Structure 1
Amino acid sequence: MLVGAPNFRDLGGHAARDGTIRTGKVYRSSQLSHLTDGDLESVRHMSLKSIIDLRSERERIAQPTPAVLRTAGDYLSPKSDTDFIFNRIFAESEKTAAAWAAGFSTFYGLMLDAYAPEFIAMFRAISDGNLPILIHCSAGKDRTGAASALLLDFLGVQRATIVDDYVRSSSELNGDMHFKNMLSDAKLHLYADLPPECRDVILGTEPAYLECLFATLDDRFGSVSGYLAHHGFSAAERNRITDALI
């Protein structure tokens, strides 16, 4: 949909518990720093009310969002580079495919806590009616994939469908360009002399990773609704999310 952000897409159109998710309300994407003039015009026409940027501070500095896209409803992750859980997990990992795959599974299992402020900000923006909303990170597949999965699961989209949307990111991304972008951002030191087998893991979207997120969710909170209740959402506030999107 966007030349400079190939992983950009509308989350609308999926069959949910109470109907079909409305289009033009929630978008997911990779970073926005490489948008063409045509892309910028397309995004401006979406009339975004809020952008949830899941990247760390250092990532945002390395790949800034164009000023013309910033909105009054923007939420920027407060994480600095040293707080970025991905870095902490992989800093001491062996440079093997098995070790990095295990690291990704761990990462997904920890995101419900590590990214609770960011995920809650997304749900809060929707509940408060700050739509359309755009959620993005660097590649738009891991942190954004988790946020999107939680939203779709809350709305009652079948998990097999959620996994299909998640896996789609691998085909949307241009592997070489994606890796080049990642090498330029806050995770540079992790990728020095990284063997091809680990690079393949980085660029992938394995269903098993998302299943780790869901397993943690189900075990600890029972559902996304339970997760939101744990973080202070009333039943009325949760209902407003559904009302806004279905």
Structure 2
Amino acid sequence: MRQMMMRKATLLLLPLLAVSGSPSVAHAQVPVAALQAHQRLLPLQGGRNFRDLGGYRSADGRTVKWGLLFRSGSMHGLTEADYRYLQGRGIVVVCDLRDRRERASEPVSWPTEHAPRVLSDDYDLDMNYMPKGNPKGWTEAGARAAMASSYPHMLTQFNGQYRRMFGELLAGHAPLAFNCSAGKDRTGIAAALLLTALGVPRATVVQDYLLTNQYLDAKSLVSNPATQSALAGIPPQAVKAMIAADPSYIEAALDVVYNHKGGAEGYIRDVLGLSHADLIKLRDLYLERGRL
């Protein structure tokens, strides 16, 4: 019974911490005026950490196009007005990285008209990285170390979903959004891989990851009665470490990427399956010159 309660708690912690043919990118550009001065966080009533990845400068001097690449937490809370707004942004594909239990707990129902294709896998989240023993004994340092050690593991566990995301982007299926539950861990790694593939410097990738601390309303998440019950007995500092976007977490994943033979491009080639020609194509599709 105690093990079942621990698993329930950790499954809830990670989310906290944690149509027809698609138009090509060339036909999916959003007018600059519609971007409201390029808002990083989308102005949604029920969005969770829903952000535009545009505007980041790559190593070659180009910048990521606005209005094509989005990262998010669960879209369960989106309102009718939010759906209309997102349909106006022309999102054609959503890569939902959540497991089957998370999707069942927080279902998302896009309006039928102009609904995006939603891509997901049926799997059970592997929580073996969590601290061992009684949750009452979890420490902040132990929780932080566990989170950092989980990120390299997630690179492997979600490789198939990350590869599929890149396949969609190379096919020009954008605007595209990808999400998990909090928009921090699985989504944070996806964003880091994508920005790295686009040639965005490592320091900028980390800065984007840390924006979750600014844009994710963690207090509202942990105030949920069901969540409070699941977290009962876990020291507050341990919970805080799991909810936070700590630089050591994403750096642990980036270490794997950059320490691969051939560096980041070698990792992208060998692990994600993108050739040098694919990288050139990806950058031509999603980078531009002359605008921030």
Shift of the alpha carbon at 1:17? 2.6
The residue type equivalent to 2:273 in the other structure is G
Q: Does 1:25 align with 2:68?
A: yes
In structure 1, what is the Cα distance between the partners aligned to 2:109 and 2:163? 24
Question: Which blocks of at least 5 consecutive residues in structure 1 are unaligned?
Answer: none
The answer (yes or no) to whether the contact 1:26–1:134 under 8 Å persists in 2 is yes
Task: Select the structure of larger CA radius of gyration.
Answer: 2
Identity %: 30
The residue type equivalent to 2:46 in the other structure is G
Residue range with higher mean Cα deviation, 235-244 or 4-13: 235-244
The answer (yes or no) to whether the contact 2:48–2:75 under 8 Å persists in 1 is no
Q: Does 1:217 align with 2:257?
A: yes
Q: Does 1:245 align with 2:245?
A: no
The residue type equivalent to 1:242 in the other structure is R
RMSD between aligned alpha carbons? 2.1
Query: CA 1:104 to 1:222, structure 2 compared with 1: closer, same or farther past 3 Å?
Result: farther
The answer (yes or no) to whether the contact 1:149–1:166 under 8 Å persists in 2 is yes
In structure 2, what is the Cα distance between the partners aligned to 1:11 and 1:182? 33
In structure 2, what is the Cα distance between the partners aligned to 1:221 and 1:136? 29
TM-score, length-scaled by structure 1: 0.88
In structure 2, what is the Cα distance between the partners aligned to 1:159 and 1:195? 33
Query: CA 1:102 to 1:52, structure 2 compared with 1: closer, same or farther past 3 Å?
Result: same
The residue type equivalent to 2:56 in the other structure is H
Query: CA 1:5 to 1:120, structure 2 compared with 1: closer, same or farther past 3 Å?
Result: same
In structure 2, what is the Cα distance between the partners aligned to 1:24 and 1:158? 20
Query: CA 1:183 to 1:107, structure 2 compared with 1: closer, same or farther past 3 Å?
Result: farther
The residue type equivalent to 1:76 in the other structure is S
The residue type equivalent to 2:166 in the other structure is F
The equivalent position to 1:233 in structure 2, one of 274, 279, 288, is: 274
In structure 2, what is the Cα distance between the partners aligned to 1:46 and 1:68? 14
Question: Which blocks of at least 5 consecutive residues in structure 2 are unaligned?
Answer: 1-41, 288-292
Match of 1:14 in 2: 56
**Matched residue count:** 237
SS of residue matched to 2:111: helix
The answer (yes or no) to whether the contact 1:154–1:223 under 8 Å persists in 2 is no
The residue type equivalent to 2:175 in the other structure is P
Q: Would you tell me which structure has more helix in proportion to its own residues?
A: 1
